[in-house]
Chains A and B, each alone.
Chain A
Amino acid sequence: MKKILVLLLVSLMVLSGCTKKEDTATTATTETTDTVSLKVWASQDDQEMTQKMVDAFIAANPDKKWDITLSVVGEPDAKTKYLEDPSAAADVFAFANDQLIDLVKVGALYKVTRNAEDIQARNSAGSVSAATRDGQLYAYPMTADNGYFMYYDSSVFTAEDVASLDTMLAKADAANKKVFMDISNGWYIASFFLGNGGTLSINPDGTQFTDFNNEKGVEAGEAIKAFTASNAFLTGDDSVLVAGITDGSIAAGVSGTWNAKAIQEALGDRYAAAKLPTYTTPSGQVQLSSFAGYKLIGVNSQTKFPVEAMDLADFLTNEANQTLRFETKGYGPSNTNAAASPAVAGNVALSALIAQSQYATLQNDVLGTYWGPAEAFGATLEAKDYSKTVKELLDEMVAQISAAQ
């Protein structure tokens, strides 16, 4: 027995001996060495492009020795990956703007104070407020394309048809084709409620406030029910949409710019996109709203080189690089100059997104508690489970959304 313990002890000794080393490393924030080493997270698709930008940054700042590495973490996963181990996360990382609220809450981001006025001035007002919490700028707007709109097959629908959801469903049904929207997803389903005047905000006690179960909300809920009950309705994830468009079974679908390439390839000449349609309520036609989505770049609060990391983040989101992003990948710029270029205006998907943006709602005040119940509400209607009325379902949904975490 003794020998076991000796061995056990020694090994634990080694273990904890090393913990010390680690500790001193993390506490020294302002440590300055010759080489500035930074890690950048970008999505798989953007690796090559980001590398180019980083190279340009290094070339533009020859006074320091740089060691900048790229790793693959996509914008949708940034928050989750960050929280797994903040000190191992990237110094500079891109994320979708709905994660800002949680990232700020856990103290993950450096406040953007260097060059802040220029950043606020050169980006669109919407993107700046998406990067702002409680009056403080926390991130650098990178793109303004993380929203959704309607793709359609122009051989099935005319530009007038896609103004109304009812017309679309009727025509699609007649052609034995489908209209796609992922209803079991809080992000998309919110467009019905927000369009009919629903609000999402934060209560003084920090919980989520929503009025999606009021009279207007029930109208929106009934419209969702009617939509999902339609013969031409189809739900699913992105792969369902792209596959359906490719084999011709889907004639129109709600999605974002990330699918633009695949859908354009599939539809060819018939490729078209527009703002979201209107839907029918007892009080008349209502324009579908949407969440205005942006991608932002943040600087990790645990970084050892905050100044350099901020300069890099600033550089990665400047006008030249936003233009480069648009030219290489078709990402919509948040920079007002870059967005004003004729090339952006000529992009089918981006102009649809811009057309939709006047009906879009900022996503700043949406807490994590919103998504699950909203998804569940959509899933219940998709499954055509009508054992409860829409009002009852909405009451349950709202109760869960506004419950404390």
Chain B
Amino acid sequence: MIKSVKFKNKIINTIIYSILSFMSVVWLFPVAWLIMQSFRKEPGAFTSYIIPKTWTLDNYIKLFTETKLFNFPRWFLNTLLVAIAACIITTILVLLTAYAFSRLRFKMRKPMMNVILILGMFPGFMSMIAIYHILKAVGLTQSLLALILVYSGGAAMGYYIAKGFFDTVPYSIDEAAMLDGANKNQVFWKIILPMSKPVVIYTILTSFLAPWMDFIFVSVIMKDNYQNYTVALGLYQMLSRENIQAYFTQFCAGAVLIAVPITILFINMQKYYVSGVTSGGAKG
């Protein structure tokens, strides 16, 4: 009896291993292809064969040396700057908003939450035209500051997950602190925030990543100002009809260069990502 259970288990595990291996191949195939393309020496947008005939590091070197038209290092720094600034602002705004909706009780609370819920459903890029002209009216277009504002402007609307997390922290902790004479400001900074490491890291992680991935908002804001492009838009530019033949392999190299740090970041922060999103997203 025990032996047969063990045997059955072994079969099941073998099946699972084979499924997992198969899926891993499928999932890693495009990534591997991307990496191989980035080392391909033959020019051209794409080849009908998969493994490059000659390997080279030139695509990477060119990204950093031929910066006259495609200034990859500068774009990288732009993105880093925007990502850091947007991430700080977003994180603060999200946590404060979430705290207000989770812990404080005031008249407009429910209506505001409903309004935010509904606002999220309008396709975002439709309002980009208006945002562009609003920023232009303030004299901010085509600047990195404008981009930071765009990325953190809607931040408060993503309070949902953090609120879910705060909801799980028992209210008695707040009450105890307030009995000791702390005001709500102190409760937030000194008591709730230190307890919320997962959700703080989750918020930082997601808001830091957004500028690396987006190419639509940034193209509306930056238009023809190449110097202020982010890597995503810059790389996307390499794929336009007139550039793709010459720059496709460099595009792949650039993509790998973004993906590597993000992968490392993600793998290390995975634990927080999971506990952040599950504690919050799940319980609403």
- Do A's and B's CB atoms come within 8 Å in the complex? yes
- The A/B interface has a contact count, at CB < 8 Å, of 84
Chain B's closest residue to A11 (CB) is B138
Cβ distance B133 to chain A, nearest Cβ, rounded Å? 8
- B139 adjacent to A246 (CB under 8 Å): no
In-complex Cβ contact of B139 among A22, A71, A77, A88 (8 A): A22
Say if the beta carbon of A187 comes within 8 Å of chain B: no
Query: A330 to chain B: closest CB distance in Å?
Result: 14
Instruction: Point out the residue from B132, B134, B240 that lies within 8 Å of A15, measured CB to CB.
Output: B134
A69 to chain B, nearest CB (A): 10
Let me know if A84 and B137 touch, CB within 8 A. no
- The reply on A44 being an interface residue by CB < 8 A is yes
Q: How far apart are the CA atoms of A44 and B238 in the complex, in Å? A: 10
Q: Contact partner of A246 among B47, B132, B133, B225, CB < 8 A?
A: B47
Contact of A239 among B46, B108, B223, B224 (CB under 8 A): B46
Residue A90, interface by CB 8 Å: yes
Question: A262–B242 contact, CB under 8 A?
Answer: no
Interface size of B as a range: 20 to 34
Task: Check B245 against A85 for contact (C-beta < 8 Å).
Answer: no
A238 to B245, CA, bound (A): 9
Shortest CB-to-CB span from A351 to chain B, Å, is 23
Is B23 in the interface zone, CB < 8 Å from A? no
Judge whether A81 is part of the interface by a CB distance below 8 angstroms: yes
> What 3 A-B pairs come out closest when comparing CB atoms?
A239-B45, A71-B224, A19-B137
Q: For residue A18, which residue of chain B has the nearest CB?
A: B138
Give the CA-CA distance A388 to B263 in the complex, in Å.
Answer: 50
Contact present for A90 and B224 (CB under 8 Å): yes
- A72 at the A/B interface (Cβ < 8 Å)? yes
B26 at the interface (CB under 8 A from A): no
Report the bound CA distance from A259 to B43 in whole Å: 13
Is A230's CB within 8 Å of the partner chain B?
no
Given contacts A44-B69, A258-B242, contact A239 B138 (CB under 8 A): no
Q: Is the CB of A71 within 8 A of B225?
A: yes
Which of A43, A242, A249 contacts B242 (CB under 8 A)?
A43
Chain B nearest Cβ from A79, distance in angstroms = 14
B242 in contact with A85 (CB, 8 Å): no
Whether B44 sits at the interface, judged by CB under 8 Å, is yes
Q: B93 → chain A, closest Cβ, in Å?
A: 14
Does B44 contact A239, Cβ atoms closer than 8 Å?
Answer: yes
A332 to chain B minimum Cβ distance, whole angstroms, is 16
Q: How far is the CA of A336 from the CA of B208 in the complex (A)?
A: 56
Whether a CB of chain A sits under 8 angstroms from the CB of B48 is yes
Contacts of B141 in A (CB 8 A): 88
* 23 chain-A/chain-B pairs, Cβ below 8 angstroms: A14-B138, A16-B137, A18-B137, A18-B138, A22-B139, A41-B224, A45-B242, A73-B224, A84-B220, A84-B223, A85-B136, A85-B223, A88-B136, A88-B141, A88-B223, A238-B45, A238-B241, A239-B248, A244-B48, A246-B44, A246-B47, A247-B47, A247-B49
Residue of A nearest to B244 (CB): A239
- The residue from A15, A88, A249, A259 contacting B137, defined by CB atoms under 8 A apart: A15
Which residues of B (114-173) have their CB < 8 Å from a CB of A?
A: 132-134, 136-139, 141-142
Counting CB contacts under 8 A, is B266 at the interface? no
CB of B243 within 8 Å of the partner chain: yes
Q: Is A249 a contact of B223 with CB atoms below 8 Å?
A: no
**Contact call A74/B240, Cβ cutoff below 8 A:** yes
B60 at interface, CB cutoff 8 A: no
> In whole Å, how far is B224's beta carbon from the nearest beta carbon of chain A?
4
**Are A47 and B69 within 8 A (Cβ)?**
yes
Given contacts A41-B224, A238-B244, A242-B245, 5 further A-B contacts (CB under 8 A): A44-B237, A45-B242, A72-B224, A239-B46, A243-B44
Q: Which residues of B contact A84 (CB under 8 A)?
A: 132, 220, 223
Cα of A191 to Cα of B119 in the assembled complex, Å: 48
The answer to whether B226 has its CB under 8 Å from any CB of chain A is yes
Q: Which residues of A contact B42 (CB under 8 A)?
A: 246
Which partner residue on chain B sits nearest A48 by CB separation?
B68
With a cutoff of 8 Å between Cβ atoms, the chain A residues found around residue B43 in the complex are: 262
List CB contacts (< 8 Å) of B95-120 with chain A.
108
Is A59 an interface residue, CB under 8 A from the partner?
Answer: no
Report the nearest B residue to A21, measured CB to CB.
Answer: B139
Nearest CB of chain A from residue B147's CB, rounded to whole Å: 16
* B66-83 interface bits toward A, Cβ cutoff 8 Å, 1 = contact, 0 = none: 000100000000000000
CA distance A44 to B71 in the complex (A): 13
Complex CA–CA separation, A72 to B223 (angstroms): 10
A60 on interface, CB distance cutoff 8 Å: no
A1 to B112, CA, bound (A): 13
A76 within 8 A of B: yes
**Most B-side CB within 10 Å, residue of A19, A77, A239, A262:** A239
**Do B48 and A18 touch (CB < 8 A)?**
no
Given contacts A44-B69, A88-B141, contact A249 B48 (CB under 8 A): yes
Would B138 and A71 count as touching, CB distance under 8 A?
Answer: no
Min distance, Cβ A313 to any Cβ of chain B, angstroms: 18
- CB contacts under 8 Å to B, within A357-374, are none
Among residues of B, the one whose C-beta sits closest to the C-beta of A259 is B245
- The answer to whether B226 touches A242, judged by C-beta atoms less than 8 angstroms apart, is no
Near B by CB (< 8 A), chain A positions 43-78 give 43-45, 47, 71-74, 76-77
Collect the chain A residues with CB atoms within 8 Å of residue B139's CB: 18, 21-22
- Look across to chain B and name the residue whose beta carbon is closest to the beta carbon of A76: B241
Instruction: Decide: A22 near B44, CB < 8 A? Known: A44-B243, A71-B224, A85-B223.
Output: no
Q: With A and B bound together, what is the CA distance between A84 and B248 in angstroms?
A: 27
Contacts of B224 in A (CB 8 A): 41, 71-73, 81, 90
Alpha-carbon gap, A246 to B142, bound state (A): 40
B91 to chain A, nearest CB (A): 21
By CB atoms of chain A within 10 A, which of B132, B137, B220, B248 has the most? B137
B223 CB contacts on chain A under 8 angstroms: 81, 84-85, 88
Nearest CB in chain A to that of B129: its residue: A84
B49 pairs with A262, CB closer than 8 A: no
Asked whether, in the complex, the Cβ of B137 is within 8 Å of the Cβ of A242, the reply is no
Complex alpha-carbon distance, A81 and B240, angstroms: 14
